[in-house]
Structure 1
Amino acid sequence: MSRFISKFVPHLSRNSKLHRLFIAQLSSLPVEVDANLHSFTVRYFINKCGFSLEKALFASKYVNFCKSDKPDACLAFLKNHGFTDTQLLPKIEFLHSKGFLDMEIADLLVIEPNILLRSLEKSLVPTFDSIKYYLGSVETTVKAIKRCPMILPHFQTRVLPNIRCLKEAGVPNRCIAFGLRVGPSLFAGACVKTRELVEDVKELGFEPCNMKFVIAFCVKGSLSKLVWNKKLEIYQRWECSEAEVLTAFKKDPWAVMKISAEKIDGVMDFFVNEMGWRPQMLLQMPQLFAASLQKKIVPRCSVYKVLFLLLSIRMMIFLRSLLLLSGRSSQFLKAL
């Protein structure tokens, strides 16, 4: 138990519920913190909880006590409710072995404490391996769990049913893996909502066997109906019809709807008012909405304007090539 406390407590977020609970259990009346080697609090953390000196000093900044009755009662309470080294420490060490840092583990357990209720051998280890089966590596699995901790303790009850739902719709494993990597929270939701979302994406004209289907699935699933309609209204304010927007969405779902409403408005404003484009021309190249306005679009359009003035170059295909050219600025200059 003391080894678990020494690993976990110093990394708790100061404003987290678990931190406040721990502090409430440990603290006596407020007193001036004495952060030296002779502080009772520091000595208690070192001798009773196994803290290093550094961690003990750090923890003593947030909690202070003069007697051992309350901290002893807190430790006894945790032990009586199953929070023992034999139950908890192996789970902490397992997460650590996969690449989670101490602070990340603390955050993970604060967000999703159900992880502590799962069996290490019967649940956590096989679940981690199952997620890795789809994502391909330990690193991508860790990233997915960080993004949505719920997928670890609820894999059997939430994630697997949603994976089966996508498979039944005809989505291949490689596309499911992509969706699990970029939108893990969607796989932790109710299966009935997943089925509804699958049908919505199909109605937009996406084929389940295509990678764009799962991209559209992730984009549409991450937006509330209110946010979706707000972004659609911005396009319509620039005299684009809903049909035109949905056609562009089929070309590049992420660029058209995942970016912020402010970004949509800013890109439209620049190309329509500064470059003289029709809004529909932008929807023919939806990738531009995902490009950085200040770092890519504006500088390259400025170069185009200079070339137009000096060399009378006014070919739209040339400008499109410059805007869509990927890579470093050296490649951009070679294209000139």
Structure 2
Amino acid sequence: MSQSSGIRQHLQESLRNSSALKVSYLVDSCGLSLESAKSNSRFVKLVSSKKPDSVLALFKDHGFTNDQITSVIKSFPRVLSLSPEDVISPKLMFFSSIGFSTSDTAKMISSSPKMLSYSLHKRLIPCYDSLKSILVEEESVVKCLKRGIRCFSLKITHCVSLRVSICRELGVPDKSIKWLVQASPFTFFSRERRFNEVLNRVCSYGFDPKKAGFVHAMVAFDCTSESAMERKFKLFQCFGWSKEDFVAAIMRFPNCVTVSDEKIMYTLEYLVNNIGLQARDIVARPVVLSLSMEKRIKPRNQVISLLLSKGLVKKEDINYFTILKLKSSEFMDKFVLKYQDEMPQLVQPFTSNR
């Protein structure tokens, strides 16, 4: 055997041993399955177990469950190579300092562990400061980050002032801007082309920037492409809606465009064929399209049908849109408990649909 062949064989043997060691560590110490450990071992540097042991100990000291630790390692195995003292610990302390509880931090990191690789001073702190410049209250920033933890993955610092200026120039009030950032940070901090496209589409529908519906429409339109909007219009067209009806419904309840095609068809068919409503009447009350069929619309219709069949209520006194809007407790008091002595079966639609 030549010297070079011997060296190659020695290296290959060392690599096999190193790979086996890493797989064993990922399985035994981190809780990964054998298959997952094999696929992730190439991302792990393991000269000794000292550093990764320290990383795992740090997570446990900060309240991470074993399942959360396993999730972190599986999603971001390189975390085992990060310095626990210089890289990971300062970030965990930062999250604690801005108002995240121990359990919140563990949940956040386990859902998006790659953020531990982001620079604290160049990414995480500037992101937090940018959000705070709009939302002001620390509690609001924390709520925003809990809702859109991937904000830390966005380079938002350079676009904050520009986006705020654009919105203000259109006449969007600061309270609406604040709502938009907190409710849907990914809409507000989307790529420039995407942001302008959504803004232009909302304006083209005639939404008033001064009213809250404008920013609600931005969120809805950001979730719905133009082709999807056209497809939904054709669904409503099957029930006799005109383009003007469609626009009017969106103006009243922008989120109607985020309702799935199946849900739209199912709800409209039931309201028209089973309850007897006119499809055009729904234009003025499109919020009903978002209501649960099984938990609200069907059981309430069953109750009203029973009351009508026994003459306990009169058809001319029934407004289904008002009935569907009632809180559960109000509906129970007015239409179930009130007539329970005469018709104890009225409670059945609610118990059978839970």
TM-score range for the pair, normalised by the shorter chain length: 0.7 to 0.9
Provide the rounded CA distance (Å) in 1 between the counterparts of 2:142 and 2:32: 20
- Say whether 1:25 aligns with 2:44: yes
> Could you say which residue in structure 1 is the equivalent of 2:309?
309
Distance 1:160 1:84, change over 3 A: farther
> Could you say which residue in structure 1 is the equivalent of 2:108?
104
- Which has the larger displacement, 86-95 or 197-206? 86-95
What is the correspondence of 1:70-219 to structure 2 with a 5 Å cutoff?
A: 78=81, 83=83, 85-97=85-97, 98-99=99-100, 100-110=104-114, 113=115, 116-120=117-121, 124-135=124-135, 137-152=137-152, 153-219=154-220
Kindly provide the CA deviation profile for residues 19-72 of structure 1, in whole angstroms up to 9, marking residues without a partner as x.
9556642579xxxxxxxxxxx97x985478646699898779999xxxxxxx9x
- The answer (yes or no) to whether the contact 1:204–1:246 under 8 Å persists in 2 is yes
Provide the rounded CA distance (Å) in 2 between the counterparts of 1:48 and 1:150: 23
Distance 1:170 1:291, change over 3 A: same
- The answer (yes or no) to whether the contact 2:72–2:109 under 8 Å persists in 1 is no
Provide the rounded CA distance (Å) in 1 between the counterparts of 2:199 and 2:87: 40
- Say whether 1:266 aligns with 2:266: yes
* Superposition TM-score, scaled by structure 1 size: 0.72
Provide the rounded CA distance (Å) in 1 between the counterparts of 2:273 and 2:287: 19
> Could you say which residue in structure 2 is the equivalent of 1:289?
289
- The answer (yes or no) to whether the contact 2:180–2:216 under 8 Å persists in 1 is yes
> CA shift at 1:206, angstroms?
0.8
Provide the rounded CA distance (Å) in 2 between the counterparts of 1:62 and 1:206: 43
Provide the rounded CA distance (Å) in 1 between the counterparts of 2:31 and 2:141: 22
> CA shift at 1:314, angstroms?
1.1
> Could you say which residue in structure 1 is the equivalent of 2:344?
none
Provide the rounded CA distance (Å) in 1 between the counterparts of 2:34 and 2:168: 42
> CA shift at 1:226, angstroms?
2.8
Provide the rounded CA distance (Å) in 2 between the counterparts of 1:160 and 1:116: 26
Distance 1:44 1:107, change over 3 A: same
- Give the residue type in structure 1 aligned to 2:111: D
Secondary structure of the residue aligned to 2:246 is: helix
- The answer (yes or no) to whether the contact 2:207–2:251 under 8 Å persists in 1 is yes
> CA shift at 1:221, angstroms?
1.4
- The answer (yes or no) to whether the contact 2:173–2:210 under 8 Å persists in 1 is yes
> Could you say which residue in structure 2 is the equivalent of 1:35?
none
Provide the rounded CA distance (Å) in 2 between the counterparts of 1:57 and 1:150: 23
- The answer (yes or no) to whether the contact 1:163–1:187 under 8 Å persists in 2 is no
- The answer (yes or no) to whether the contact 2:123–2:155 under 8 Å persists in 1 is no
Secondary structure of the residue aligned to 1:156 is: coil
Question: Which runs of 5 or more structure 2 residues have no equivalent in the other structure?
Answer: 1-28, 336-354
Kindly provide the CA deviation profile for residues 106-153 of structure 1, in whole angstroms up to 9, marking residues without a partner as x.
43342xx4x744343x65335324424534544442343244344335
Provide the rounded CA distance (Å) in 2 between the counterparts of 1:15 and 1:316: 65
CA RMSD after TM alignment: 4.1
> CA shift at 1:13, angstroms?
12
- Give the residue type in structure 2 aligned to 1:277: L
- Say whether 1:276 aligns with 2:295: no
Provide the rounded CA distance (Å) in 2 between the counterparts of 1:60 and 1:287: 42
Secondary structure of the residue aligned to 1:209 is: coil
> CA shift at 1:316, angstroms?
6.4
> CA shift at 1:162, angstroms?
2.4
Distance 1:103 1:22, change over 3 A: farther
- Which has the larger displacement, 129-138 or 277-286? 129-138
- Give the residue type in structure 2 aligned to 1:188: F
> CA shift at 1:10, angstroms?
5.5
Distance 1:128 1:149, change over 3 A: same
Question: Which runs of 5 or more structure 1 residues have no equivalent in the other structure?
Answer: 1-8, 29-39, 64-70
Provide the rounded CA distance (Å) in 1 between the counterparts of 2:72 and 2:127: 36
- Give the residue type in structure 1 aligned to 2:303: V
Distance 1:24 1:156, change over 3 A: closer
> CA shift at 1:161, angstroms?
2.8
> CA shift at 1:184, angstroms?
1.2
* Superposition TM-score, scaled by structure 2 size: 0.69
Provide the rounded CA distance (Å) in 2 between the counterparts of 1:13 and 1:174: 48
Secondary structure of the residue aligned to 2:158 is: helix
In the TM superposition, structure 1's runs of 4+ consecutive aligned residues that sit over 6 Å from their partners are 11-16, 53-63
